[in-house]
Structure 1
Amino acid sequence: MAGQRFTERDDRFHFAEMGDDWWATETAWFSFHHPERRLGGWLYTMARPNIGTVAGGAWVWDDSAHLPWEALYSANYSALPLPCGQDLDDCRLPTGVAIRVLEAGRCYAIGYADPERLAIDLVFDGVMPPEPLTAAGSTFGSAHHFDQFGRVTGTIALQGETIAIDCIGMRDRTWGRRPEDRPRRAAYVTGAAGPGHGFLAVTTARPDDDRVAYGFLRRDGRTVSLAAGERTVERDPVDGWVTRITLTARDAEGRTLSATGVPVSRIIINRHTFIDVNSLIRWELDGAVAWGEDQDMWPVHHWAQQARARRRR
């Protein structure tokens, strides 16, 4: 919410503050990538303390497959028991995800363990303070939500091969009410050319383009909220996914953002009542090469309707 500042307390669960609402939810998400291999990855945790469950897991993909059951790795648990006696600042969850705070609000050891299939040993080192949600009109509504770019380093061991990771990735941290039937069409778009040069744009759908509802421009090491902007996409005529993105925006100080992106790989993740067509994107960002993601989010019934219409053409 506007005006919030991330504190050491926010690295831990907020169970007491969220009351007894069935839909009270905490999430922690970290992304990483290896551009030369067209490889992207996520670690995702979604806890619901009032019903005692934790969901999420890990995904790793490249350009060899886009379906989660054909991707390099996909584990998306829906309801495992939330362990007692662990907090989010130092936990090893039954989903396989491990998180340990090394420096509050900035540096995190993140891991994953699935014997003989996937082991992740990474450090996320923030290159900016966590940026608070500044627009209740975005897909995140009025939830407590923070986004942060960081340098991600370490290794993943995937099916017997060790792969070194060194990239600028994104994490987000949320807590609040999150019903499973809430999603509407939206996109979560990131790109970074380096620790001091990048952007986040969260958009809502309109008939001809997507309007930027929330985000920021990071340039010369300064992070300023976006005031306006548009995401325009070209789509594959058969499969419907994004093949090219143009993002234009300006921030609250009048600085302009111009980025054109092309997906190099993607994975489709089914997240209860919506799907996330998540693409690893190579950007041309203000004359520099940048890397990031485009999370193209659709209610399942809306995606299905569009797919049936394409097949009838």
Structure 2
Amino acid sequence: MIVQEDLKFHTPADVDHQWAETYWFGMYIPEENIYGWVYMVFRAGTGAMLCDIEFINRKSTFMCDALYVDIQNHIPIPEKLESFSLPNGLTFEATSPRNYRIDYVGVDNTEIHLDFEGIHEPYDIHDPNIDPLARANSHEAVENSGFGSSYANHFDLTMRARGTVSIRGKQYPVNCLATNDHSWGPRPERGMRMMAYMNAHFDGDYVVQTIWEFDAGRPDGEQHIFKHGYAVVDGKLLGGVAGELTVHHDGIFPDTVDLSFTDVEGTVHKLTGRPLAHNNWVPYGCCPTGHTMLAWETEGQTNGVGTLMEAYPMDTTTGGYIHDDIARRYRS
């Protein structure tokens, strides 16, 4: 269960350089085909943090095609996690586990002024009272997290984002659902796991959020294994018990996505997605990630929007690891 105290740093007494605390906040402006995010990684053992702020609006593999990129890797870590201002122009405040504020004044007339309000309680993937697939044993919990020790502690939270963003002088109103997260634990940059993080948001606050492991070294492709997830239906938070995912790729980016997700009440949610915008994302120098804004369809609704991230850690995927048939497709 996530409580008010979890807004503070969770730094252990014997902290080393591999310990990390992270926040992810996404935002969509579907009518303009714009997808943006704020990602922060706090490394208490080194005294430094990463802050990554980006906007994309088209399908590309070339990072210079992004609308805006501001990645800074060595910002001094703030004293308090719940409220801080950074030298890159970002100010952050967490007033509760469900309520956050981000203000950012960057370069070239680019700004973010958004309030985020959770539409459900934080979904703690290690709390069996919330997640039916949570494991009581701490070792099993880490192994089943979907991202190893990086998700030793992790919650997802679908939020309503409201406010404005300005990108290179053009202002846009924002009023969207976006699934955001917070994690803490050892996050070594060697031995990261291939993983996928995917969600869909529809009118009526209908949401499906999922976490997967996959293996690009398999001869039959990147078979995705469901780890954790939830649906929000009519205001009710429903943990996931099973899922099947097929991603038809164009390189490391999706061409089409087919999702079947079963919630704890036995309802099967079937969704089909296609990319609206994507680009190569490098949240860590060791781990390029296919990062996509998806348009989603499901029975009765055709206006969904969401995210797919698929991470390819280089220490694993280099050296001939990726199966030849799959590698040829990536190179095409």
Q: Confirm or deny a common fold (TM above 0.5).
A: yes
Q: Which residue of 2 aligns with 1:200?
A: 209
Of 29, 35, 48, which residue of structure 1 is paired with 2:30?
Answer: 35
Secondary structure class of the residue paired with 1:36: helix
Secondary structure class of the residue paired with 1:115: coil
> Is it true that 1:97 corresponds to 2:90 in the alignment?
yes
User: TM-score with structure 2 length normalisation?
Assistant: 0.85
Alpha-carbon distance in 1 for matches of 2:268, 2:330: 39
Of 117, 128, 147, which residue of structure 2 is paired with 1:125?
Answer: 117
Contact 1:127/1:195 (8 A) holds in 2: no
- 1:46 and 1:278, CA in 2 relative to 1: closer, same or farther beyond 3 A? same
Shift of 1:22: 2.1
> Is it true that 1:235 corresponds to 2:249 in the alignment?
yes
Alpha-carbon distance in 1 for matches of 2:59, 2:252: 18
Of 275, 278, 296, which residue of structure 2 is paired with 1:263?
Answer: 275
Of 113, 116, 133, which residue of structure 1 is paired with 2:108?
Answer: 116
Q: Which residue of 1 aligns with 2:74?
A: 79
> Is it true that 1:12 corresponds to 2:21 in the alignment?
no
User: TM-score with structure 1 length normalisation?
Assistant: 0.89
Contact 2:148/2:193 (8 A) holds in 1: no
Alpha-carbon distance in 2 for matches of 1:218, 1:61: 27
Secondary structure class of the residue paired with 2:64: coil
Q: Which residue of 2 aligns with 1:212?
A: 226
Contact 2:147/2:192 (8 A) holds in 1: no
Shift of 1:95: 4.0
Greater shift, 191-200 or 277-286, is seen at: 191-200
Alpha-carbon distance in 2 for matches of 1:253, 1:119: 42
Secondary structure class of the residue paired with 2:63: coil
Secondary structure class of the residue paired with 2:40: strand
Unpaired runs of 5+ in structure 2?
A: 127-133, 135-140
Shift of 1:97: 2.9
- 1:99 and 1:246, CA in 2 relative to 1: closer, same or farther beyond 3 A? same
Greater shift, 67-76 or 24-33, is seen at: 67-76
Q: Kindly, what percent of the aligned residue pairs are identical?
A: 27
Q: Which residue of 1 aligns with 2:328?
A: 309
Unpaired runs of 5+ in structure 1?
A: none
Greater shift, 273-282 or 57-66, is seen at: 57-66
Shift of 1:21: 2.5
* Aligned residue-pair number: 303
